[in-house]
Amino acid sequence: MIDTLLSVFRISVKAIFANKMRSALTSLGIVIGVAAVITMLAVGSGTQQSMSERFSRFGTNILYLRQPWDLDESISSPKDVTMDDVRAIRRLPGVEAAAPYISSGFEVKYGYTSTSIDVLATDTDIFKTYDWEIEKGREFTEREVDDYAQVAVLGATAAQTIFNDVDAVGKTVIFDNIPFKVVGVMKKNGQGGMGFDMDEGTLIPYTTGKVKMNTGWNKSDRRALDRVIIRVKDFNTIEETKEEIANTVRNTHKIHPLAEDDFQLDDFASFVEEAKAASKTMGILLGVIGAVSLLVGGIGVMNIMLVSVTERTREIGIRMAIGATSADIRLQFLVEAVTLSCFGGLIGVLIGIVATLVVAANSTSIPAQLSIPSIFIAFGFSAATGIFFGYYPAYKASKLTPIDALRYE
């Protein structure tokens, strides 16, 4: 049996290589389909991987307090999130730290260098919420926050961009026409916060930002914050702590017991849900793309196999005359179709792997992670395509009668 299959396979390879160009063009659809599936699955699983890495770097015991972006109309006069909220939250036993958060883009100047930078105005609690570490110099102090000091802690990439290889600590940079003294530079930490990348940005005291910088901040109220970053002490009691925080904020906002919250408190679960939903959508999209290209590729295989059956009618006649049964002929053409599509599948796998490696090597924003099962799945689908679309031509060949096939000119 294996012996027979082997001979049949050898004949198929010969037939495929006899028409190199035709075979190559035919399998192209499958090549593209398989390569696309592998690459995209790799990007998909890489994205998921990097997302979960990012979440774990943030720590799961981080909460965000902010005013909702889509405010319920029933809330007539929502109160801003302010330092009063921050101070109240800090007093809660379950809270480790709570930092104000106001961010905006500014132009930064140093000497002749001018570039744009994300500025996060905050206070010393920020260093207790995120796991950012100082590389050189120091964090800014509570005293500096209270004194409206013009000091800044730069992200690693930002420092590199502005100062090149010069030591940034002690130098003065200009944000929005106001000079700031660089007191520290952060360690590079890879992917940063939600909407704020520490590597590319800078930290300044929120007092300085609110009082001395006129442009860029999106709230006219000097006390308003974009959000509050809260670190809870214990992840296991995060729900209870969340409850306490909500009650505290309702209290400072003086919300009537029956009225809705005028703020929103997010934890990472909601971000994870969103990310999961996004990657599921992406998965469906990939499935559709893969299915469509394999379908088109399969039709190509079927088409060329029908041509091949017609071209080789006489050969079929000879084979039947010397003892091939209908089943032998059917097997022959089926193996040929499967070989052709697997050949495409194999090339597709190689291209997919190379494409994944190229993407992984050249792009930091699109992480790609090759998964072995996805390779087997994609290859398996190419083989299944061959069987599905090769069956009809093979059946047609097997239905020829030897005498008609032999007489065929």
Partner 1 sequence: MSLIETTNLYKTYVVGDVEVHALQGVSISIERGEFVAVMGPSGSGKSTFMNILGCLDKPTQGKYILDGIDVTATDLSKLAGVRNRKIGFVFQGFNLISRTTAVENVELPMVYNHTPSHLRREKALEALKAVGLEQRAFHMPNQLSGGQQQRVAIARSLVCDAPIIFADEPTGNLDTKMSIEVMDLFTRLNKEMGKTIILITHEPDIAQYAGRLITFRDGQKVSDEVKK
Minimum distance of partner 1 from residue 12's CB (angstroms) = 12
Site residues (CB under 8 A) for partner 1, limited to 91-120: none
Cross-strand partners of 28: none
Asked whether position 326 contacts partner 1 by CB under 8 A, the answer is yes
> What's CA 70's distance to the chain center, in Å?
26
Cβ distance to partner 1 smaller for residue 143 or 314: 314
Identity of the residue numbered 136: K
Minimum distance of partner 1 from residue 2's CB (angstroms) = 10
Minimum distance of partner 1 from residue 1's CB (angstroms) = 8
Q: What is the DSSP letter of 194?
A: S
Minimum distance of partner 1 from residue 399's CB (angstroms) = 10
Cβ distance to partner 1 smaller for residue 11 or 246: 11
Selected range binding partner 1 among 138-146, 266-274, 339-347, 397-405, rule: CB under 8 A: 397-405
Cβ distance to partner 1 smaller for residue 121 or 331: 331
Q: How far apart are CA 369 and CA 39, in angstroms?
A: 9
Minimum distance of partner 1 from residue 349's CB (angstroms) = 28
The structure tokens listed for 150 are 């013009």
Minimum distance of partner 1 from residue 332's CB (angstroms) = 10
Selected range binding partner 1 among 60-68, 144-152, 213-221, 396-404, rule: CB under 8 A: 396-404
Report helix, strand and coil shares of the chain as percent, to nearest 5.
Answer: 55, 15, 25
The structure tokens listed for 111 are 């000497």
Handedness of CA 322, 328, 334, 339 (dihedral sign): negative
Minimum distance of partner 1 from residue 319's CB (angstroms) = 7
Cβ distance to partner 1 smaller for residue 257 or 323: 323
Cβ distance to partner 1 smaller for residue 7 or 251: 7
Residue the block writes with tokens 């049964």: 325
Residue from 259, 291, 292, 403 that binds partner 1 (CB under 8 A)?
Answer: 403
Cβ distance to partner 1 smaller for residue 2 or 361: 2
Buried b (16+ CB within 10 A) or exposed e, 347-365: bbbebbbebbeebbeeeee
Minimum distance of partner 1 from residue 389's CB (angstroms) = 25
Cross-strand partners of 266: 64
Cβ distance to partner 1 smaller for residue 5 or 285: 5
Q: How far apart are CA 340 and CA 327, in angstroms?
A: 20
Site residues (CB under 8 A) for partner 1, limited to 306-325: 314-315, 317-325
Check: CB of residue 82 under 8 Å from CB of residue 317. Answer: no
Q: What is the DSSP letter of 200?
A: G
Q: How far apart are CA 355 and CA 342, in angstroms?
A: 19
Asked whether position 330 contacts partner 1 by CB under 8 A, the answer is no
| List of residues 6+ apart from 312 with CB closer than 8 A | 15
Q: Which of 156, 217, 245, 229 is nearest to 193 (CA)?
A: 229
Selected range binding partner 1 among 159-167, 218-226, 386-394, 399-407, rule: CB under 8 A: 399-407
Cβ distance to partner 1 smaller for residue 322 or 361: 322
Cβ distance to partner 1 smaller for residue 93 or 323: 323
Q: How far apart are CA 176 and CA 182, in angstroms?
A: 15
Minimum distance of partner 1 from residue 25's CB (angstroms) = 20
Asked whether position 222 contacts partner 1 by CB under 8 A, the answer is no
Residues across the chain: 409
Q: Which of 289, 285, 280, 336 is nearest to 309 (CA)?
A: 336
Minimum distance of partner 1 from residue 408's CB (angstroms) = 12
Site residues (CB under 8 A) for partner 1, limited to 2-21: 3-4, 6-8, 11, 14, 18
Count of residues of this chain found to bind partner 1 when the rule CB under 8 A is applied: 26
Q: How far apart are CA 186 and CA 133, in angstroms?
A: 6
The structure tokens listed for 97 are 């730290």
Binding site for partner 1 (CB under 8 A): 1, 3-4, 6-8, 11, 14, 18, 314-315, 317-326, 328, 401-403, 406
